[in-house]
Chain A
Amino acid sequence: MSTDSNNSAIADAIAAPVKRRDFLKAVGVGGAAAAAVGCYSDQVEKLIPYVASPDETVPGVSTYYASTCRECAAGCGIIVETRDGRAIKIEGNPAHPVNRGALCGRGQAALQGLYNPDRFRSPMKRQGGQLVATTWDDAISTLSARLAEAKKNGSAKDAVFINQHEQGSFPAFLDQWLAGFGMPGHIAYDAEAPLSAIAANKQVYGTSWPGYDFNAARLIVSFGADYLDGWGLAVPQQLAFADARAKIDGAPRVVYIGARRSLTGINSDTWIPARPGTLQQLAEAIAAAVTGRGNADLKGAAERSGVDAAAVEALVAEIKSAKPSLLMAGGQGPDATAAAVAVNELNKALGNVGQTVKPAEGSLAFDGLASHAALRDAAERMAAGRVPIAFVRGADPAHAAPGAMKFADAFAKVPFKVSFSTYPDDTTQLCDLVLPDHHSLESWGDAEPVKGTLSLQQPTMDPVFSTRATADVLIAVAKADPALSAKFPANYRAAVAARVGGNAGLTAALPTAIAHGSSLPAPSQKAAAPKGGDAAGQGDYFLQVYQSPVLGDGRGANKPWLQELPDPVTKIAWQTVVELHPETARKLSVEQGDHVTVTTAAGSLTAPAYLYIGIRPDTVAVATGRGHTEFGRYARGCGSNAMGLLGVAEDMRSGQAVLAGTRAAIAKASGHSKIVTTEGSARQHDRGIAQAITIDQFRAGETGEHPHVFAGQASTEFLPGLRSPVANDAQGDLGDPNSAKKGQYDPNHWSGVAKRRWAMVVDLARCTGCSACVTACYAENNIPTVGAPWQGPRLWPSDTGHGANILRGREMAWLRLERYFEIDREPKDVEFNPAFDTRVIPMMCQHCGNAPCEPVCPVYATYHSPDGLNVQVYNRCVGTRYCSNGCPYKVRYFNWFGYGEPNRSQYAFPEPLNWQLNPDVTVRGKGVMEKCTFCLQRIREAENRAKLEGREVKPDEFTVACAQACPSKAITFGDAADEQWAVARMVDDKRAYHVFEELNTYTAVVYLRKVNHPAAAGSAAEAR
């Protein structure tokens, strides 16, 4: 599909008040008038085929486009599924070297960026203080005139262009354009970038981001490097981590050092809770102790870091013995770069470089990244009135930069501000001219995530709104200048094609969107002197602001899937909280939900307290990502912006903003808010839901926990594996090998139940709890988000604001990630103890063979299919909700409101978000029950395809949405009745168990126990 700027006439038409559907309706009226006679519906809807059908497009059959994800810097390959000209699902590209088919939740939520109802629908121009719609001709001529004037009077040299950092050729192309108008190079800003690690990597390894081989390591030590939370390259790191841990015997032990147990922290075997801002001392002392060079004052360093000296000594011993190991340092304190340098040097000294750290196989994702100092420098110039023109594209520094920088105030002083952002974000709302960019799914581009490999980005559909690719706008502006006209190609597609050998090369490369080649090298960024500053400040507590693994620096906040996705650690959605240790809370007489005010030298923030047992008692943490003043209906006014607490202090070695270690005072404020969480109880209460064994038990052949007083009958009275989908009373004498009575298990039984049982295996040794599967499920199954403030009851609601429905437990996630802490009392009563185990478990409909939900339904709306599925018939459901009562797993979800009805305030898919809806899945009506279907539509699609091709479904031919997306490859789906499917082999794993086996529900979902590697076991392994 090609999308050129001449499409904009059509796009203009789309943006006009007459919507495409209305237009088609009008076209259809003539013919429909006759057809409508005798019909009740007053809405005439006609299905109109394409007048000229695009090649290879069959109505109702998906077309897939390979492209590149632009939601973060990593540059994962994606496959975009489109149906009748609309993108409906994004999945990872299995052929892509970075993400091997997996994709995180943020990447999948790009669709809600594409279809965001708050995107600019046309260019905007400020008139009388307001942004009003204008035409592209007017917008471009306005910009051209301004630029010509600036070029002429020489003020162009002081212009500032802030671009969201991205890989590929565009940054160089942009600088070329800027230079043409006499403007300096752009600032490639990324508030999420791990600048300190990048600086240290460059210094020690000579590359901005080496390849990390988790699989080769025997020990992984993270010095505040949140490699599962979005630090670095989220998906490839998680893939590698899960692969390494899935080895079980020989898997690396994982140690996490940091003030707060992040997602990475809770996936570690040992947590050493170092005080924020002390990583450098600790890292240097450990390095010295390991190498025997320098001052190895472990005790002193441990004391200053506030950690147990014995734990540090044990770690030193372990690093010495476990080879090779993988040491990574992140952290966002003022000493982060120094700590990272020390850690990287230690990797070098230990000989890990080349074994677990591979500079030659590095990623180019972070090349050409500006430091935070460069942005501050620009802001200072703006504040001083020395910037005549400012441009911003993608980045939202008014929200994502530290509050003390007062970026918005500075930016407002620029006489002419242009935004290329496609969303009305906080920065764009200040601009005078908005030239909205295409979404990455609508435009051309390239990325070079791995040296020598180009990952192409192609439009997957016609633009949703009257937007234009920024590159094409730049070309149009350049063409208006006779001096520049010749230097630029006709359009940006041609520029992309030039990277792969012209149109022919492009056509050849597009099916996988992967090509040999390289993008234009990223232009080097102008260095800016970092500014230190006293991070210490006042207050008894340390503040740690951390990147939200779900929303990032805030760019995810306008996507309801991400707002609704509970944070993998805190399980909080739609809300900003202040994380306190329960010990601290008791000291302050604060209970969960009480408002607390965090005050730093830079500012203060009042938010409800959340008691988290995985944080140092002298530290408070706040996540980034919320608290927008603009950015559309879903982001505006939701939560508070943690960046407002931060001063302008930067790490002197890398220019990274200091997010951790700032001194803060905490005071109890008036007010109380319920915490918008999906968590009921944080503990398992010995119910054995998420089970684990230690590596020693595993080696000894033990099965691990026996949480149940009563054993279930599944292991004794059912067929081995998962082959029997119904209760034993239908099995005849199957248990008796000499009997011929096989009941329904007779292969010739009319029901056919012996032939197939769809089943799932979830390997908890792999699962990190990242929740990408949850977003995949939302996308695949048209699950409504329900947390927006207007989605609750309208008349006298008892809960109001963001997450009102979630406060009543009405979230619709068919698949949820439960996170349990292994502690012996409620979290609020816990004393600080870094040694606690955290279990995560994806919980979805278990498709019980003996399902308690089925017999209780009075109308057969839920019943058992012969291929082992527990099926829910929405049209038959009357909404007694009895099935939910029967379900021990509590995985059934009810439509409390008309989330699928456009004329209701609770509507979850305001136009054009509804363009994303999967046409293969019903949008459920008000008053019916729904639940995980094991992606029934995918099963039937595969079966139908096989039938059309005259064959049986091939083993592992297809999989379900959650399994497909999982960046840990923890979920396996298939037919347990057929030995050739992977799932049939995996159910025989000795770690396998059913949740609540004692209830004899005989589930089709089998979990494999998590394997913990406690310290002693790890060293025992080394001793072996």
Chain B
Amino acid sequence: MATLAQPGPDTGPMRPNIAKAGLQLPAVKDYAQVDREIMGTLHPTRGWFILLMVSVACLGVGALSWIYQIHEGLGVAGYAPPVMWGVYIVTFVFWIGIGHAGTLISAILYLFRAGFRTTIYRCAEAMTVFAVMTAGLFPIIHLGRPWKFFWLLPYPNWRLLWPNFKSPLVWDVFAILTYLTISVTFLFVGLLPDLATLRDAEKNPFRKRILGALSFGWRNSENEWRHFARAYLFLAAFSTPLVLSVHSIVSFDFAMALVPGWHTTIFAPYFVAGAIFSGMGMVYTIIIPIRKFFKLEHYVTLNVMDAGAKLTLFTSMVVGCAYMVEYFIAWYGGVPAEQDYFMNRVFGQWWWAAWIMLTCNVILPLSLFSQKLRRNPTWLWILSLFINLGMWYERFVIVVPGLSHEFEPWQWTGYVPTFIDMGILIGSFGWFFMWFLLFIKQLPVIAISEVKEIVPPRLKEAASHGGGH
């Protein structure tokens, strides 16, 4: 780690674990400490209950809004034709994007042997699963007849009706379902040794049985470890292309339509970079409070934060570059409708949204060139909120201004979301955080087994050094 402020203590000859290369947790002394500290986060607290109640309340708002919308019709949302897609699709892409950072951290960085992923990947992977679960609701919420959503699935029926495999929305169905399946599997497989650890520490016989079943009777044998490592590596390799493909397919929802500002070839890489960027934002939004309130600063160290911030900065610049290319091609391509659209987006009707996006996604992240700010959790947390906002607006700026300013000037229009749109948006956050909060009190947010691999071998005998703390 090039930016290590202080050289770590000489920990002697390390076990060869190249996947964890470069990560040093000097304050973590031994396995018992790891078990104690990480499993110690699983006890519910009053603050946690309050947050859970808030999340459930938000979810309730969203659920009521949706029920009302199903009953009345989509007219209660803010759609203003031809702006036929609005907050729901924006939020769908937002959540799908969030998921990508989790997979990037847990899978791609694993393959790249980036050690800093070790203590944040579990959190990120869980975030992926819950984000995809959230995102997956929106294509249904946004349907005119949501009770017919299964018609998008290719199920056998006597009418021999199949979905239209030319439609990007059908690709979406496959992409999301694949992504959800792989993410859940990957998360679960990674949890196996930790589930066994929890099982061993569990006193309640009922819970012990459940944990035992979930851990597939993990016995910590050499064979199990070998199969586990292979499976994990295989799943990581399997997930890696999904990081690129899922959001490419989501971007095709737009790129395949004949809408100025949508119909462009840059969308796939642009969306993938944006997805990772937004996911990094959400990772910080989540991990910084966890690190603070669970007192895990010595696991998720400033070095880890620093390394992640560099990835954030990099993706921010890729996204910024994509914006520039979009504008350049619009100008260079010479299609008047396309040029009109970008003028209207940046300097016309939607200037405010476009500048929220540019400020949050391109300008503010430039602060990460400063090492001081990269190592300042408070700033990183504030910045992460801006990134979340900015990335939501990025999708807004693509979806809404595109539709509101198409080829036919007679049909140019505006768009204002209603309280139903907002209720469902809030509900989606409630849904996501409800799952996340339930998760962090049931399962360890930091991979116990992977951290243990970092703990120096000569410190394994806690007794010989007089214990941990």
Residues of A participating in the B interface, judged by any CB pair closer than 8 Å: 678-681, 683-687, 689, 709-710, 792-796, 798, 805, 808-810, 816, 818, 820, 843, 852, 855-860, 876-882, 884-890, 893-898, 906, 925-929, 996, 999
Q: What sequence of 0s and 1s flags, for each residue 19-41 of chain B, a beta carbon within 8 Å of any chain A beta carbon?
A: 00000000000000000000000
B416, A809: Cβ atoms under 8 Å?
no
Q: What sequence of 0s and 1s flags, for each residue 134-160 of chain B, a beta carbon within 8 Å of any chain A beta carbon?
A: 000001001111001101100000000
Decide yes or no whether B359 CB sits under 8 A from chain A. Answer: no
A808, B80: Cβ atoms under 8 Å?
yes
Instruction: From known contacts A852-B257, A882-B257, A890-B406, infer whether A898 and B73 are also in contact, taking CB-CB under 8 Å.
Output: yes
* Other contacts beyond A878-B145, A885-B403: 12, CB < 8 A: A793-B418, A795-B76, A798-B416, A809-B82, A810-B80, A858-B151, A858-B164, A878-B149, A880-B143, A886-B259, A890-B82, A926-B144
B73, A858: Cβ atoms under 8 Å?
no
**13 A-B pairs, CB-CB below 8 angstroms?**
A680-B409, A681-B410, A681-B412, A689-B410, A793-B75, A793-B418, A795-B72, A798-B78, A809-B80, A859-B152, A859-B161, A882-B169, A887-B258
A798 to B415, CA, bound (A): 12
A877 to B169, CA, bound (A): 13
Decide yes or no whether B390 CB sits under 8 A from chain A. Answer: no
Interface centre among A709, A879, A897, A999 (most CB of B within 10 A): A879
B257, A896: Cβ atoms under 8 Å?
no
Chain A residues, CB < 8 A from B337:
687
A816 to B409, CA, bound (A): 13
A856 to chain B, nearest CB (A): 5
Instruction: From known contacts A680-B409, A680-B410, infer whether A880 and B80 are also in contact, taking CB-CB under 8 Å.
Output: no
Interface residues on B, range: 35 or more
A279 to chain B, nearest CB (A): 34
B168, A856: Cβ atoms under 8 Å?
yes
B395 to chain A, nearest CB (A): 14
Nearest-neighbor residue (CB-CB) of A899 within chain B: B73
A999 to B81, CA, bound (A): 21
Instruction: From known contacts A680-B413, A793-B75, A858-B167, infer whether A927 and B145 are also in contact, taking CB-CB under 8 Å.
Output: yes
Instruction: From known contacts A896-B74, A999-B258, infer whether A881 and B169 are also in contact, taking CB-CB under 8 Å.
Output: no
Residues of B participating in the A interface, judged by any CB pair closer than 8 Å: 68, 72-76, 78-85, 139, 142-145, 148-149, 151-152, 161-164, 166-170, 173, 253, 256-259, 262, 334-337, 340, 403, 406-413, 416, 418-420
Chain B residues, CB < 8 A from A710:
335
Chain A residues, CB < 8 A from B412:
680-681
A182 to chain B, nearest CB (A): 59
A885, B410: Cβ atoms under 8 Å?
no
A623 to B42, CA, bound (A): 72
Chain B residues, CB < 8 A from A808:
78-81
Chain A residues, CB < 8 A from B262:
885
A5 to B81, CA, bound (A): 50
Nearest-neighbor residue (CB-CB) of B139 within chain A: A880
Instruction: From known contacts A809-B411, A859-B164, A996-B407, infer whether A897 and B72 are also in contact, taking CB-CB under 8 Å.
Output: yes
B82, A792: Cβ atoms under 8 Å?
no
Chain A residues, CB < 8 A from B148:
878
Question: Which 9 pairs, one residue from A and one from B, show the smallest C-beta to C-beta distance?
Answer: A879-B144, A927-B144, A896-B75, A680-B412, A681-B409, A881-B84, A890-B411, A858-B169, A897-B73
B370 to chain A, nearest CB (A): 42
Interface centre among B142, B161, B167 (most CB of A within 10 A): B167
A809, B258: Cβ atoms under 8 Å?
no
Q: B419 touches which one: A796, A810, A896, A897 (CB < 8 A)?
A: A796
Chain B residues, CB < 8 A from A709:
334-336
A878, B76: Cβ atoms under 8 Å?
no
Instruction: From known contacts A798-B418, A878-B145, A885-B259, infer whether A856 and B407 are also in contact, taking CB-CB under 8 Å.
Output: no
Chain B residues, CB < 8 A from A879:
74, 143-145
A580 to B218, CA, bound (A): 82
A894 to B80, CA, bound (A): 10
A877, B144: Cβ atoms under 8 Å?
yes
A886, B258: Cβ atoms under 8 Å?
yes
Chain A residues, CB < 8 A from B139:
880
A884, B82: Cβ atoms under 8 Å?
yes
A860 to B403, CA, bound (A): 22
A805, B167: Cβ atoms under 8 Å?
no
Chain A residues, CB < 8 A from B253:
882
Q: B144 touches which one: A684, A795, A820, A878 (CB < 8 A)?
A: A878
B82, A878: Cβ atoms under 8 Å?
no
Interface centre among A792, A795, A818 (most CB of B within 10 A): A795
A878 to B169, CA, bound (A): 12
A711 to chain B, nearest CB (A): 13
Nearest-neighbor residue (CB-CB) of B74 within chain A: A896
A896, B73: Cβ atoms under 8 Å?
yes
Instruction: From known contacts A852-B258, A859-B151, A927-B73, infer whether A894 and B81 are also in contact, taking CB-CB under 8 Å.
Output: yes
Chain B residues, CB < 8 A from A893:
81
Instruction: From known contacts A884-B84, A890-B408, A926-B144, infer whether A876 and B151 are also in contact, taking CB-CB under 8 Å.
Output: yes
Chain B residues, CB < 8 A from A816:
410
A687, B409: Cβ atoms under 8 Å?
yes
A326 to B195, CA, bound (A): 95
Nearest-neighbor residue (CB-CB) of A890 within chain B: B411
A885 to B143, CA, bound (A): 14
A795 to B170, CA, bound (A): 34
A872 to chain B, nearest CB (A): 13
Nearest-neighbor residue (CB-CB) of B256 within chain A: A856
Chain A residues, CB < 8 A from B72:
793-795, 897-898
A820, B163: Cβ atoms under 8 Å?
no
A859 to B151, CA, bound (A): 7
Q: A683 touches which one: B144, B258, B409, B411 (CB < 8 A)?
A: B409
A680, B151: Cβ atoms under 8 Å?
no
Chain B residues, CB < 8 A from A683:
409
Instruction: From known contacts A685-B340, A709-B336, A859-B164, infer whether A809 and B413 are also in contact, taking CB-CB under 8 Å.
Output: yes
A858, B257: Cβ atoms under 8 Å?
no
Q: A810 touches which one: B75, B403, B409 (CB < 8 A)?
A: B75
Chain A residues, CB < 8 A from B78:
798, 808
A889 to B337, CA, bound (A): 13
B396 to chain A, nearest CB (A): 15
A858 to B162, CA, bound (A): 9
Interface centre among A679, A880, A882, A999 (most CB of B within 10 A): A880
Q: B170 touches which one: A858, A876, A890, A897 (CB < 8 A)?
A: A858
Chain B residues, CB < 8 A from A925:
145
Chain B residues, CB < 8 A from A996:
407
Instruction: From known contacts A687-B337, A888-B406, infer whether A880 and B74 are also in contact, taking CB-CB under 8 Å.
Output: no
A884, B143: Cβ atoms under 8 Å?
no
Instruction: From known contacts A793-B75, A894-B74, A896-B73, infer whether A885 and B409 are also in contact, taking CB-CB under 8 Å.
Output: no
A856, B408: Cβ atoms under 8 Å?
no
B394 to chain A, nearest CB (A): 18
Nearest-neighbor residue (CB-CB) of A889 within chain B: B408
Chain A residues, CB < 8 A from B334:
709
A878 to B146, CA, bound (A): 7
B77 to chain A, nearest CB (A): 8
A871 to chain B, nearest CB (A): 14
Chain A residues, CB < 8 A from B75:
792-793, 805, 810, 896-897, 906
Interface centre among A678, A798, A843, A925 (most CB of B within 10 A): A798
Chain B residues, CB < 8 A from A858:
151-152, 163-164, 167, 169-170, 173
B169, A880: Cβ atoms under 8 Å?
yes
Chain A residues, CB < 8 A from B73:
895-898, 906, 926-927
Q: B411 touches which one: A680, A805, A898 (CB < 8 A)?
A: A680
Chain A residues, CB < 8 A from B166:
855-856
Instruction: From known contacts A855-B166, A858-B167, A860-B161, infer whether A689 and B413 are also in contact, taking CB-CB under 8 Å.
Output: no
Chain B residues, CB < 8 A from A818:
410
Nearest-neighbor residue (CB-CB) of A807 within chain B: B80
